[in-house]
Each structure stands twice: as structure tokens, then as C-alpha cells.
Amino acid sequence: MATLNKIAVLRGDGIGPEVVAQSLKVIDAINQKYGHDITIEEGLIGAIAIDKTGNPLPQETIDICKQADAIILGAIGDPKYDNDPTATVRPEQGLLAIRKELGLWCNIRPIALHDQLVDLSPIKAEYLKGVDYIIYRELTGGIYFGKKEKRDDYSSDLCEYHAYEIERIAKLAFEAARKRRRKLTLIDKANVLESSRLWRKVVMEMGKSYPDVTLDYLFIDNATMQVILNPRQFDVVLCSNMFGDIISDESSVLAGSLGLLPSGSIGDTSKLYEPVHGSYPQAAGLDIANPIASILSTAMMYRDFNMDREADCIEQAVKTCIAKGAMTQDLNPDTECPCSHFGDIMQSIILDGADYVKPRAQNETYSNII
Ligand code: IPM
Ligand code: MG
């Protein structure tokens, strides 16, 4: 197991820089508390990289990432490209390219709910109690990366999978299921797609080596319904790239805010941690973004380096903030805790103890509390 000495930080676009700044405060506090000396090196990616270099993923950024033990990414995307179907260079190309360049074939997205926040979800609380699952999304294959054709009046995106691409992520998913509630659900469209039938064949065959894991299969259309109707049925969910993208945004609705969901992407040589949410350009610069997804992604990073004490400390501090009402406005409009203050509060909790945040009294502003 590698040690965590160097982190590459790619803040990206929109709210990316703001949420990553809070994660950096958390890393700084963890460094102080546990005596680590972790170096940070920054790189450009996304629209900001296009503006500065003409390339959404400059070679310099790839080099910085390859030299680092882990990568923290903010978000990518800028609306000026979304509404221009003729744009040939797009910020998202930077994200897809970094996944491919670094071979980050497995994207892990845990869906865990906080009891105090169940009322934020449009789904009734009775359906949400006990929901706890984890999505394993294939990240470097499928329709995202298949051959593309574009003519004036015709376009195509090919969905291709090799058995080895399915096997390596399925192995991780089976092993994760073994450490959890021993259930694996494969989401596909095997009633229509050849590539899905390959997923089913490979996973079914592998299932024989995991007799202790219950294997279930759902078609994507049914699965999107099941996420709403009976999300408690899921433990580990395994999907191709595109279906994982769909299921993870939908799953965020259960948690109450897309701003809560972290993710980790791993491959043979690199590890990258980023929130599930996008660049949320409408909120950029307003100091209202929820940094929890980025901060919990940072906790996932520590856990992957066997630094459970550090990961536990961060997750506990996030729970303390939520319990005491220190939340950004997407979670609690009454608290008005700005994004930047959330990182300060996290630092205080990590360094000064769990009871540092006191509940907000009437007429008290957030600056009086921290
Ligand atoms: C995600 C995002 C990306 C994806 C976009 C921004 C290219 O939606 O990470 O889920 O589709 O993978
Ligand atoms: Mg997505």
C-alpha cells in the first residue's frame, strides 16, 4: 500500500475552486493534528484550462497527476460551452481525458443518508430509513469512449466492452459486497443491448466464485424506478459507465442534496477524488456551495491509503456540523453558513474538539459562532 505524500489538486470550474478550498482546510487540519507532511501541487483542468492554454487537460496537469499519490478534483463545466453544440473543445473533455489517461476504471459512489436530513428529500422518510448503498460505476469504457462518428445529418456513439473491463470492476464490487450486506445488483439493459448481455454473462460466471453474495439483476429502466420505490433493497450496485452516471444523479435525490455525495475513482496506478456534483455555475462566486461532497471525497482518499483514523475524524466532524446545524443553505436555509465558513468550522472541530460548534441563537450571525 502506497503512502500519501503528495496530492495533486485540480480545482476546475464553477464552484470547484470554492469547495476544494474547504477540503484543503480539512487536509491542513489533519496534517496538524496527526503530524503529516503532505505536499500539494495544483494543475489546470476544464474551462479554466481552455481559457488559459486552449486545452481542457494540458500535458503539465497529466504530469502533475502522475507524480502524485492522489488527486483531488473540484468540478468541471461552463455553460458557455453547453449551449454551443458546434464547440469542438469542451471542458468535459478534460474530465473524460483524465479518467482515460490515468486509467481510472472504477468509480465508487457511496449513497449514505443522514438521519437529520431525510426531510430534505422529496421521497417520503419511511422509504429512506436505512438506505445505505454503494455504486460501482465503470469509468473508462462503454458509450463514453467508443468510436464516434459525426456527419452533417448523422452521428453515432459506439458502446463497446471487453470482458476484462467488466471482470476487474466486478471483482471489486463482489469484494465490497462481501464486506457489506452481501448483495450485488447488476444494472444493465440485457433485454436489448449486446454489451449488456456480456456484462450479465461475465458477472453471472464470476458469481459462482462468490456463493455468499446474492446476485440480482435489474434493467436500467426498472432500476431507476426501484431507486425511488425501494432504495433499501440495494447494497452494492454495479453498472456500466452510462448507467452508473444516470443512477448516481438519481440516487442523490435520496440524500436530499447532490452537494452531499462524494466519489473516488481508482485504477491500477492512480486515485482521484471528486464530488458527484458538477460545477453549478449559477452558484459560483456566491460562497453558497455545499463543500461536504468534496470534503467526504477527501475522507475517501484517506481511507484508501489505510488512514482510517483520519477518514473517521473527517466524517465525524461532518456529522457534528450537520447535528449542530452548521450547514450551507441547500441543507438549511435558516443557517446561512457560507461555504468558506464550513471549512473553518471543520478545522475548529478537527483541531479543537467535537463540541466547538455551538447551536445558533436567534439574531446571532455565523461569524459570532465560529
Ligand atoms: C459525472 C459527470 C460527468 C460524467 C460529466 C461531467 C462528463 O456527470 O462525473 O457523473 O458524465 O461522467
Ligand atoms: Mg454524472
List, for residues 174-185, the tens digit of each pLDDT value. 999 999 999 999
| Catalytic residue status for 249 | yes
Distance CA 16, CA 24 (A): 12
183, 249, 287, 319: the catalytic one is: 249
Cα(29) to centroid(ligand 2), Å: 30
CB burial readout 203-231, b (16+ within 10 A) else e: beebbeebeebebebbbbeebbeebeeeb
Q: Which residues contact 84 (CB under 8 A, 6 or more apart)?
A: none
Cα(249) to centroid(ligand 2), Å: 6
115, 221, 312, 352: the catalytic one is: 221
Q: Which ligand 1 atom minimizes the distance to the CA of 245?
A: 10
Q: Which amino acid is at 49?
A: A
Q: 263 with 107: CB under 8 angstroms?
A: yes
Cα(139) to centroid(ligand 1), Å: 10
273 by DSSP, 3-state: which? strand
Measured CA to CA in angstroms, residue 172 lies from 169, 266, 341 at distances of 5, 11, 37
| Catalytic residue status for 304 | no
Identify the residue whose C-alpha is closest to ligand 1 atom 12: 245
- The per-residue pLDDT for range 259-303, each reduced to its tens digit, is 999 999 999 999 999 999 999 999 999 999 999 999 999 999 999
Q: 155 with 149: CB under 8 angstroms?
A: yes
Q: What stretch of H or E contains 111?
A: strand 106-112
DSSP 8-state assignment for residue 132: E
pLDDT grade for 356, boundaries at 50, 70 and 90: low
Ligand 1 binding pocket (C-beta < 6 A) is 76-77, 92, 95, 245, 278
Q: 70 with 4: CB under 8 angstroms?
A: yes
Domains of the chain: 1-113+258-370 (3.40.718.10), 122-255 (3.40.718.10)
Q: Which residue has the cell 466532524?
A: 317
What's the chain's average pLDDT?
93
Q: 69 with 305: CB under 8 angstroms?
A: yes
| Catalytic residue status for 33 | no
Cα(91) to centroid(ligand 1), Å: 11
Q: Which three cell numbers stand for residue 260?
A: 452531499
| Catalytic residue status for 245 | yes
Residue 91 neighbours by CB distance under 10 Å: 27
User: Which whole number is the average pLDDT over 150-172?
Assistant: 97
CA atoms within 13 A on the CB side of 338: 13
287 sits in the region (left: phi over 0; alpha: psi -120 to 50; else beta) called: left
The predicted pLDDT at position 187 comes to: 98
Higher pLDDT, 206 or 364: 206
Q: Which three cell numbers stand for residue 318?
A: 461532518
Q: Which amino acid is at 27?
A: I
**Ligand nearest to the backbone CA of 279:** 1
Q: 242 with 142: CB under 8 angstroms?
A: yes
Phi, psi of 198 (to 5 degrees): -65, -45
69, 188, 235, 245: the catalytic one is: 245
The predicted pLDDT at position 354 comes to: 59
| pTM recorded for the entire structure | 0.93
Identify the residue whose C-alpha is closest to ligand 1 atom 8: 245
| Catalytic residue status for 189 | yes
The predicted pLDDT at position 360 comes to: 46
The predicted pLDDT at position 363 comes to: 54
For a pocket test of ligand 1, which of 45, 92, 145, 276 has the largest count of ligand atoms closer than 8 A to its C-beta?
92
CB burial readout 124-143, b (16+ within 10 A) else e: eeebbeebebbbbbbbbbbb
Distance CA 357, CA 335 (A): 13
User: Which whole number is the average pLDDT over 327-340?
Assistant: 86
Cα(98) to centroid(ligand 1), Å: 12
User: Which whole number is the average pLDDT over 71-79?
Assistant: 96
13, 136, 189, 330: the catalytic one is: 189
